[in-house]
């Protein structure tokens, strides 16, 4: 098997890259895929906390690159999902501790054993971002329906195109249907019109994500969580399934409802 390398990136901080990485990793593993999530945010590691694996770290990514540990030793196996693995970032170093070529080497080593390699990118467009996209096959760009996050996502898409890493796929996170309804939040269509890339996920704002993050138990593991369901949908779309985008709770306008009644299969 040859793994696909997905880099989860955004430019702006705080839009939900780490949450998305953890949840998509969990959702893919729940579908029986062999997954490894790599935290490339050297110096500000978070992925281990969100995935609830912090207390099991012995070696990290920098230890592997600098030869103090083998890849296998640094790879933490998740106890909930046997196919899920995570390689933590080093907390005591900075972005210069690794180079883009190191990421390519590590991914090449992991590719034969895995189905998916998910790389959690740091915020920004500097060295850390370059490291995170070096080995990437597809970038998943996370943004929020707000002007500044969309601006940064646009910049990131431009940089990805310049690096010949393709336009990537878009995840719009933390959508608040009631604000969109009132016209106080950018609509999905507005975001897509500016960014003009393929949409792969719409995640509603959901407090279960916050609770899950603090407990180290990703929302994708909670069958009832709306955001968790949206992340599971992303995993299925990554597997090639056609999954329609369900109307976000409360956002469905009368017009959409009517048009669905009239054209039951029409995507409006």
| Nearest to 134, CA basis, from 159, 169, 171, 158 | 159
Closer by beta carbon to another protein, 63 or else 152? 152
User: Which residue lies nearer to another protein by CB, 159 or 179?
Assistant: 159
Enumerate the H helices of the chain as residue ranges.
17-30, 47-50, 61-65, 71-74, 100-110, 127-134, 147-162, 177-182, 188-195, 207-215, 226-238, 254-262
Q: How far is the CB of 11 from another protein (least distance, A)?
A: 9
Q: Closest CB to another protein among 108 and 193? A: 193
Question: Are the CB atoms for 77 and 85 separated by under 8 Å?
Answer: yes
**Shortest separation between residue 91's beta carbon and another protein, angstroms:** 30
Name 54's bridge partners. Answer: none
d(CA 120, CA 40): 6
CB of 220 to another protein, least distance (A): 31
Q: Which is nearer to another protein, 57 or 194 (CB)?
A: 194
CB of 116 to another protein, least distance (A): 28
187: burial class by Cβ within 10 Å (0-12, 13-18, 19+)?
Answer: middle
Can you tell me the distance from the alpha carbon of 124 to that of 156, in angstroms, rounded to the nearest whole number? 9
- With a CB cutoff of 8 Å and minimum separation 6, the contacts of 3 are 34, 36, 107, 110, 111, 112, 113, 114, 115, 116, 117
Both tokens of 168, joined, read: 């990537």
Query: Residues interacting with another protein, by CB under 8 A?
Result: 151-152, 154-155, 157-159, 161, 193-194, 196
Closest CB to another protein among residues 30, 159: 159
Nearer to another protein, 58 or 147 (CB): 147
Least Cβ distance, residue 123 to another protein (angstroms): 15
Residues 69, 175: Cα–Cα separation, whole Å: 41
Q: How far is the CB of 155 from another protein (least distance, A)?
A: 4
In the complex, minimum distance from the CB of residue 153 to another protein, in angstroms, rounded to a whole number: 9
CA 63 to CA 131: how far, in whole Å? Answer: 16
- Taking the least distance from each CB to another protein, the nearer of 161 and 241 is 161
CA distance 76 to 95: 22
> Which C-beta is closer to another protein: that of 102 or that of 154?
154
| Least distance in angstroms from the C-beta of 157 to another protein | 6
């Amino acid at each position: 098997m040859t793994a696909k390398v997905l880099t989860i990136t955004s430019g702006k901080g705080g839009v939900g890259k780490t949450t998305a990485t953890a949840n998509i990793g969990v959702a893919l593993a729940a579908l029986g895929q062999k997954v490894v999530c790599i935290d490339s945010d050297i110096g500000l590691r978070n992925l281990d906390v969100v995935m609830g694996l912090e207390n099991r770290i012995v070696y990290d990514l920098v230890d592997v690159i600098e030869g103090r540990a083998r890849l296998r030793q640094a790879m933490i196996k998740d106890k909930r999902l046997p196919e899920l693995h995570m390689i933590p970032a080093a907390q005591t170093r900075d972005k210069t501790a690794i180079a883009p070529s190191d990421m390519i080497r590590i991914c090449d080593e992991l590719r034969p054993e895995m189905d998916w390699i998910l790389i959690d990118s740091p915020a920004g467009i500097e060295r850390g971002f370059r490291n995170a996209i070096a080995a990437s096959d597809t970038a998943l760009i996370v943004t929020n329906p707000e002007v500044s996050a969309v601006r940064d996502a646009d910049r990131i898409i431009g940089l990805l195109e310049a690096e010949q890493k393709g336009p990537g796929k878009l995840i719009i996170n933390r959508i608040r249907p009631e604000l969109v309804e009132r016209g106080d939040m950018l609509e999905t269509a507005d975001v897509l019109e500016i960014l003009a890339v393929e949409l792969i996920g719409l995640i509603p704002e959901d407090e279960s994500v916050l609770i899950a993050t603090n407990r180290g138990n990703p929302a994708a593991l909670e069958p009832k969580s709306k955001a968790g369901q949206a992340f599971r949908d992303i995993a299925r779309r990554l597997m090639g399934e056609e999954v329609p985008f369900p109307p976000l709770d409360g956002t469905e306008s009368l017009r959409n409802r009517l048009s669905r009644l009239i054209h039951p299969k029409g995507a409006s």
